[in-house]
A = this chain, B = another copy of it.
Amino acid sequence: MEAEIEFIPEGGVTSPEGFFAGATCAGISKKARDKLDLGILFSEAPCVATGLFTTNRIKAAPLVLCQQRLQQGRALAVVVNSGCANAFTGGKGLTHATEMAKLTAEGIGILPEDVLVASTGVIGLPLPMKRIRSGIEQVILSRNGGHELAKAMMTTDTLAKETAVAVKKDGNKFSIGGVAKGSGMIHPNLATLLCFLTTDAAVEIDFLQSALKKAVDISFNMISIDGDTSPNDMVLIMANGLAESEPVSSGSERADAFQQALEQVCIYLAKCIARDGEGATKLIEVTVVGAPGLAEARLAARTVVTSLLVKAAVHGADPNWGRVMAAVGRSGVEMVESKTDLYIGDIPLVKAGRPLPFSKRSVIQLLKGREVSINLNLNLGSGKATAWGCDLSEEYVTINSRYMT
């Protein structure tokens, strides 16, 4: 029987059984004193846990701590702050991250080793530990605290990013929830900024790792806002088994359902991040088919969605399709001009390399929408991939020329 997968209305990271969260306004950033900026996620039952981390050579202190602690393959809580990345902060950074975990553990009454830490915000500044300490004391955990946590993780995000799905498969039920934050320094390179995933399914650690990698590859690794990857990027997943379904392991009947549901959550959150890119006014979806292979399809789709000129043209609803072709052309992917087809939405602009006459008005109308889809067929093979990004607006520049000052 096919698995039934349904999005849970108002779902989030605490939708799965046994997960609690909460947040507070610790006053970490001077810019937004009344913003939620410190949160905690906690599972009342022990979790199998794993994560994926930035490929940036500079690794933020909390990330280093998480990588160490996840070697044990389990965790009970995550503490997260926005407003300061605790990256490029030397040995002090690791001391601070370790203290954040310890204080969180003491507050809940668990071992410090079972607490993971994440930070996001300005690079190179030390954490204001006095504020962090009193902040951690103030957090109250609740079963629907996921929404507060989502808000506490936001920096330049304009919308909280959270979702959950309920899965039914052969009489087994479980759910998967997730929360993420963008919205600058976003570029596909293993993991992308902060995302915490939770599930009440029981999952074997090896399968959890491979399922996460697969889901991240087609979601967070396929979005780009600005081509910059952050030293703080991480995707964490915690599975507490409280749904009392049979354990999900590789090759088991539930494995496909779990994988599919996890991918839906990740793609949903990845699209939320792309759509809410700094200064963005619309989501761009680029699908490449007919590439020589999967890797080529991925690279071509990502290159188009990353091109500043494509992004700016979409922003201005300018049907300058030559920029899409130029981006594929420089991507390094094999392409043959006389074989390439290009569509904006479902309107064909180029067929077998020949520019077609098209209604400029109709194309501009499509480009003016909140979601713009660009579809390419290289007609060379069976490689297929989709990437997501956003338009480039004047507002992006304004945000990023005044981030620190």
- Of A185, A334, A401, chain B has the most CB atoms within 10 Å of the CB of A401
| A330/B56 contact (C-beta < 8 A), A90-B353, A313-B403, A316-B405 known | yes
Which residues in B have their C-beta under 8 angstroms from that of A189? 330
Docked CA distance A57–B337 (Å): 8
Per-position 1/0 for A361-405, Cβ under 8 A of B: 000100000000000000000000000000011101111111111
Docked CA distance A326–B334 (Å): 31
The segment out of A45-53, A162-170, A226-234 that lies at the interface is: A226-234
Docked CA distance A163–B399 (Å): 37
Which residues in B have their C-beta under 8 angstroms from that of A400? 308-309, 312-313, 316, 392
From B123, B392, B401, B404, contact of A315 by CB (8 A): B401
Q: Is A206 an interface residue (CB 8 A)?
A: no
From residue 77 to 113 of chain A, which have CB atoms closer than 8 A to chain B?
A: 85, 87-90
| A57/B397 contact (C-beta < 8 A), A88-B337, A308-B227, A403-B320 known | no
From B58, B308, B321, B393, contact of A337 by CB (8 A): B58
A328: shortest Cβ distance to chain B, in Å?
7
Which residues in B have their C-beta under 8 angstroms from that of A321? 124
Grouping DSSP codes into helix (H, G, I), strand (E, B) and loop, the A interface class, with mixed when no group exceeds half, is loop
Q: Is A128 an interface residue (CB 8 A)?
A: no
Contact yes or no, A313 B124, CB < 8 A: no
A98: shortest Cβ distance to chain B, in Å?
18
Docked CA distance A312–B392 (Å): 13
A391: shortest Cβ distance to chain B, in Å?
8
From B56, B58, B318, contact of A405 by CB (8 A): B318
Docked CA distance A401–B55 (Å): 32
From B226, B315, B355, B398, contact of A309 by CB (8 A): B226
State the number of copies, please. 2
Per-position 1/0 for A189-213, Cβ under 8 A of B: 1000000000000000000000000
Contact yes or no, B231 A329, CB < 8 A: yes
From residue 173 to 196 of chain A, which have CB atoms closer than 8 A to chain B?
A: 184-185, 187, 189
Number of residues on chain A facing chain B (CB within 8 A): 67
Contact yes or no, B397 A326, CB < 8 A: no
Contact yes or no, A88 B322, CB < 8 A: yes
Contact yes or no, A316 B124, CB < 8 A: no
A59: shortest Cβ distance to chain B, in Å?
8
A339: shortest Cβ distance to chain B, in Å?
12
Contact yes or no, B335 A58, CB < 8 A: yes
Contact yes or no, B124 A307, CB < 8 A: no
Which residues in B have their C-beta under 8 angstroms from that of A123? 320, 322-323, 325-326
Closest residue to A122 on the B side, CB-wise?
B322
From residue 284 to 303 of chain A, which have CB atoms closer than 8 A to chain B?
A: none
Q: Is A317 an interface residue (CB 8 A)?
A: yes
Contact yes or no, A320 B404, CB < 8 A: yes
Q: Is A327 an interface residue (CB 8 A)?
A: yes
Q: Is A319 an interface residue (CB 8 A)?
A: yes
From B89, B320, B333, B393, contact of A397 by CB (8 A): B393
Contact yes or no, B312 A397, CB < 8 A: yes
Which residues in B have their C-beta under 8 angstroms from that of A334? 57
Q: Is A354 an interface residue (CB 8 A)?
A: yes
Can you list 8 pairs linking A and B with CB atoms under 8 Å apart?
A: A56-B329, A87-B322, A88-B322, A228-B327, A316-B403, A318-B401, A318-B403, A320-B405
Known: A312-B399, A318-B401. 13 other contacts (CB 8 A): A55-B330, A85-B322, A88-B325, A88-B350, A90-B337, A123-B323, A184-B309, A227-B307, A227-B308, A229-B330, A308-B396, A319-B405, A320-B405
Q: Which 6 A-B pairs have the closest CB atoms?
A: A123-B322, A316-B401, A312-B400, A58-B329, A394-B394, A124-B322
